[in-house]
A and B are shown apart, each in its own frame.
Chain A
Amino acid sequence: MTALLRVENVTKRFGGLVAVDHVSFELHEGEILGLIGPNGAGKTTLFNCINGIYRPEEGRIYFRGQDITGWKPYYVARLGMARTHQIVRPLAELTVRENVMVGAAFGSKQYDLRTAAHIADEVMEFLGLAERAEMLAGSLNVAQKKRLELARALAAEPKLLLLDEVLAGLNPAEIAQMVEIVKAIREERGITILMIEHVMHAIMNVSDRIIVLDFGKLIAEGTPEEVSNNPKVIEAYLGDPELALKLTRKSNA
């Protein structure tokens, strides 16, 4: 099986700081791959390299069989990669619907406006945003804005979806709901997912495999079970005892 996404030795520096340090991994079609790591580990920066916001100083990125290293984000998007932002970026003065239409109209299928509107309606329904369709995106609360991020990305009908902490700031009920949505995205829409998450029980629950970044380096890779028993991973989280505790408790359960 060829990989949908292959990241090879990718390195991104900010001045003297190596935010992403020779990272390599593969992602197969239909997979949900979790990406975890302590704060500042370089997870978002890795996303930014993958979708073309940054050009990595070293390494290559292959997506759908093409070398997309150094491509601009819009070409990457058109090739079928969509993402959400950790810090939400709503198009504040457009309605929720228009926001989602942008995703559909400029994503992998380049739909015309009428079709984009239908797709937006369907996606908003799926994510429970339908009643808010005519509200200005700027007036949503944070949880709703997170959903909007996801809705725009889904409307693009991508092959690969990059989710950057879509669960952050949600309450337990909302988290449970979102976990089901993420699963449904893979099951019903056949979209491959790479997701960054700090909510350990959730990411352990949805991912087929997990990779772990620490100080920009990939320190572990494996099933949720393997990763949460990996001493290196536990050590990486020791700076954050609460998380380490959660991690071990979950793996014992």
Chain B
Amino acid sequence: MKESKRAFPLADVLPGLPDQHWASFVLPLAVVLGLALFPFITGKDVHRETMFTVLRAIVMAVSLNIILGYTGYVSFGHVVFYGLGGYVGFYLVSEKGMSLWVALLAGGLAAGLLAWVIGAGILRLRGAYFALVTIGVNEAVRALIQNLDIFGGPLGLEMNFSVYKAYGGPQAMLQMTYNILVGLAVIAVLLSYAVRTSKFGLGLLAIREDEDAAEVMGIIAPKAKTWAYVLSAILPGMVGALFFFRNGSIEPHEAFPLHISIEAIVMVMLGGYGTVLGPILGAAGYQVMRAFLITNRYLKNIQLTVSGVLLLLIVLFIPAGLIGWLRRRIPASRRILL
């Protein structure tokens, strides 16, 4: 048997978990693609804009799930990766005249790099300490950017609309960025599936369940956790770059709002942490609820209160979330619902 010292998954990705049904792979992809195709079918711009927020939520939740759901570390300030990616990408396009593609890569890279640099330090903290420190990191990065002149300080940066000409004008740009987001969502799902079914992922689950026992069994927890954190940061960074490019402006309070983190946690918990399908359904379900709330005259101001209460109810009554609950109740479903 060949020896392998790698903690990184790719070598073991293809075989997948033994006796996992192919549907466990197809189902999450089908849900994402089904949602993504909806605006193409109706052909309505308003549906495309709605689905943009749904897919963005899916990427955030699916990514967060890698560190929160698989590894058991509650990254409360996960929006920092979105904001940082947003700023780095925006800066490169609007101030340096680089292309959106470079911005996307740089946004993902910056987010991954930040996770890698801080991960080694803060992933030593467990439980609430880790959660609190991630909030601190978000605030620190926000404060730093607010004080950086190249990023426009507290006012942020504005895009010169002529930039969009290179992408066929604002209308075409809106469609193109939507298409890119669909691609990112698909990548998020593939990544999540690859991690979940790999040996690396089994190591993460073991860390989540009992980190000390995992180390005794040979899992190099510090390394595995750092990789998990990096993997969970990259796509939010890219989506940040994409969103703010599309948005045409970026400001500190828009880039690092803590409520995006909290909502992503609710989505993961709602659908089922530690599963591939759960965060996707959780994100979609949450966005539907949110859309209902903010369009309702009486409820729109209590939208965040509702997510807080929702989180409380989930944690109290169905801590495993929808998919986790199904997997527990119906063991036969485990081969299909991953």
Contacts and interface: CB of A to CB of B under 8 A. Distances in A.
Interface of A: 51, 53, 72-74, 77-78, 82-83, 85, 89-94, 98, 101-103, 105-117, 134, 136, 152, 156
A111 B1 contact: yes
A170 to B, nearest CB: 21
Contacts of B18: 113-114, 117
Q: Is the interface of B mostly helix, strand, loop or mixed?
A: helix
B45 interface: no
10 contacts: A73-B215, A77-B216, A78-B218, A82-B217, A92-B209, A94-B209, A105-B199, A106-B214, A116-B199, A136-B328
Interface size grouping (class) on chain B: 35 or more
B217 A112 contact: no
A127 to B, nearest CB: 16
5 residue pairs, one from A and one from B, having the closest CB atoms: A106-B218, A77-B218, A91-B209, A117-B18, A89-B213
A115 B331 contact: no
A116 B217 CA distance: 13
Contact of A74 (B15, B218, B274, B334): B218
Given A53-B212, A108-B218, A134-B334, 19 more contacts: A72-B215, A73-B212, A74-B216, A77-B217, A78-B218, A85-B213, A89-B213, A91-B206, A94-B209, A102-B217, A103-B217, A106-B203, A106-B206, A106-B218, A112-B12, A113-B197, A115-B1, A117-B18, A156-B218
B1 A134 contact: no
A4 B105 CA distance: 51
A113 B17 CA distance: 7
Contacts of A77: 215-218
Nearest to B207: A91
Interface in B279-338: 328, 331, 334
A118 B217 CA distance: 18
B5 interface: yes
A106 B215 CA distance: 9
B74 interface: no
A83 B202 contact: no
A102 B206 contact: yes
